[in-house]
Amino acid sequence: MSYKVAHLAHIVRTTIVNSDWQQFCYLAKKKVSLFSTFTQKKMEEIFKYFDTFLKLSPESNKIIKSHLEYETIKKGGFLWKAGQRCNNLYFVTSGIARLFFYTEEAEENTVHFIFENNFITDLESLRIQTPSSISCIAAIDCNVVVIKSQILKKFDKEVFEWHELLRKITEKTLFDKVKVRDILFQKESKERYISFLKLFPTIANNVPANQIASYLGISQFTLSHLKKEIAEDDFLRIRKN
């Protein structure tokens, strides 16, 4: 191959490589732009949630928005583990998180499920930096807004509505939790499971039966029997109609 031909071939290859690199850069920028837009929309959900409690000033909105982080936690990923300190306040924008602890028999005992548009943390561990007694895991893929403990301290100082906002959110969260437990755990197992299906259809369709059984305080065998019984009741009702 002559020098000129070899040189021409080099120019062609370089042009192709540069073209590919430009295309890669364009796609990368586009992907970042799309991710930024998606993240922005998800971030807005937390402010819509805040608005249901009180209206933040533009200055407070700006401070909060500039310090929020956004994470995707895959199914099976831990938000925090028992025995470790919980250092963050999380707002679930999509997905389901599960709180549980291990019994003396080393079995998981599910105590609560958290779904979208709800906050989740271990308040005691977060506030006084003690190890948490429970674990929090993504039951399915979760998208969460993260507020770190040092940022919470900053909000306490710089966002004058923050203390009142957190107080109202905490009160509602505790009230809702007590209300759900009153609805579920004052009933027999069948009615308890039916109420669970009505309250949490998304959880019922996405979480393994053993975790639901643990939360409801029944055995997996009992849950399986209840599912069969309810299915038969539905079949007979449809047939009668």
DSSP alpha helix (H) spans, 186-219: 189-199, 201-206, 209-216
- Amino acid occupying residue 206: N
Let me know: does 191 contact 179? Beta carbons within 8 Å: no
Minimum mean pLDDT range among 23-37, 44-58, 74-88, 219-233:
23-37
pLDDT (tens digit per residue) in 113-152: 999 999 999 999 999 999 999 999 999 999 999 999 999 9
| Residues in Cβ contact with 213 at an 8 Å cutoff, skipping those fewer than 6 apart | 219, 220, 222, 223
pLDDT (tens digit per residue) in 16-72: 444 454 554 544 444 444 345 546 677 788 999 999 999 999 999 999 999 999 999
Residue 78 has pLDDT above 90, yes or no: yes
Residue 88 has pLDDT above 70, yes or no: yes
In three-state secondary structure terms, 238 is helix
CB-side neighbour CA atoms (13 Å) of 211: 18
> Can you give the pLDDT at residue 172?
92
